[in-house]
Amino acid sequence: MARAHDDADKLRRRTEIIRAAVQVFAERGYFAARMREVAERAGVADGTLYLYFAGKEDLLVSILEEYAEAFMIRARRDIEQFSDPRDKLRAVVERHLASFETDRALAFVFQIELRHTRRFLRRVAKGKVASYLKLLLDVVTEGIEAGVFRADVPPEVGARVIFGALDETVTAWVLAARPGRLAPQAEPILRLILQGLHPPGKGDDHE
């Protein structure tokens, strides 16, 4: 019982440190931020950070992995509710934008701070981004096989166009001096993407 309690405390403390790092990295920038500042924000001693993370880069990687994994779990759960690939795509797009709108600091870290070095970008691309692209690829491929998406657009291209549109939309929102709502932008994005993927000359009976 005591072991379970200790494990729960460690998980809670780790989560608090990651949340503090998101806030500090968003405010100060990754390179300017210091581990001491993260410790102060999390309310722990400097040395405590190194019981959980090897250093600042490990902390940044952990932010990516933890939040991206949580997003992927939710996105997969969302699309399981639908059989039509168009509804699946809508669910993913809406989830992407709504998730960032509720956490602007996290959006800033993902869109800006995670992209400072080529080495880190390669590491990111081989991990969670690749998993997300695979999810989009599966949805596009399913749509092509079902005849609701055009077959003359390679699924890989479709997946990257969708990801690129969402990625640029969030980046523009993060950098805007007076950002409006992010989630409502899902509708025009979906309209463009779904019309672009629509098979030429085929009627559309999907609302």
Q: What is the DSSP letter of 203?
A: -
Return the pLDDT at 103. Answer: 95
The token pair at 81 is 């509710």
Return the pLDDT at 116. Answer: 73
> Among all chains, which residue has been given the structure tokens 């924000």?
41
Residues 6+ apart with CB under 8 A from 120: 57, 60, 114
Return the pLDDT at 2. Answer: 57
Provide the CA 131 distance to its chain's centre, in angstroms.
11
Provide the CA 82 distance to its chain's centre, in angstroms.
21
Dmax (CA) for the chain in angstroms is 66
**CATH class label, 1-53:** mainly alpha
Ranges of residues in the chain with a pLDDT under 50 are 207
Domains 1-53 and 55-207 alike in fold: no
Which of 1.10.357.10, 3.40.190.10, 1.10.3210.10, 3.40.50.300 would CATH assign to domain 55-207? 1.10.357.10
Q: Where are the domains of the chain?
A: 1-53, 55-207
Residue 151 in contact with residue 199, Cβ under 8 Å? yes
User: For 32-87, how does the pLDDT look when each residue is reduced to its tens digit (9 = 90+)?
Assistant: 999 999 999 999 999 999 999 999 989 998 998 899 999 999 999 999 999 999 99
The token pair at 189 is 């994005």
